[in-house]
Amino acid sequence: MKKFLIIILTSAIIITAVWFAWHFYWVLGEGVKAGQLNNITKKGYIFKTYEGKLIQTGLQGGGPAGSVQSNEFRFSVVNETVANTLMSNSGKEFELHYKEYMGALPWRGVSVFVVDSIYAMRDTKAVPELFHP
């Protein structure tokens, strides 16, 4: 009976460890998002993480009838060098490489999208004046 309980307990620990690794560390997808960096902040109660928001060009429907909203990409940043570059260039256009995980970890950030590098950065173009007096 003791050997049976050890086998069951060991199997349960192994299955839990495999599920945890798959759910929180296996990369579900990765890609590049482009848009204007709206903000990036360092926040958290115990684990201080960098959280940002990128505003993508274009409009998105799907809300109540007749409503239009901007496309927002909310992300976390683990690399402090990448976060500092983003913080010092808020408002510029960025192309950010990200990895998508199935679950968020407190020390990695609140988002399942984790930005790990910057592909490109450029100044935003001045908005032309629509009305000339």
Q: Where are the domains of the chain?
A: 27-122
Question: Which one is predicted more confidently, 70 or 87?
Answer: 87
* pLDDT classification of 123: cutoffs 50, 70, 90: confident
CA pair distance 24, 88, nearest whole angstrom? 30
Give the pLDDT confidence score for residue 67 in this predicted structure: 52
**What is the average pLDDT value for the chain, to the nearest integer?**
87
Q: Which CATH class is domain 27-122?
A: mainly beta
The sign of the CA dihedral 71, 117, 120, 86 is: positive
Percentage of the chain modeled with pLDDT above 70: 83
Instruction: Note the pLDDT tens digit of each residue in 16-61.
Output: 999 999 999 999 999 999 999 999 999 999 999 999 999 987 665 5
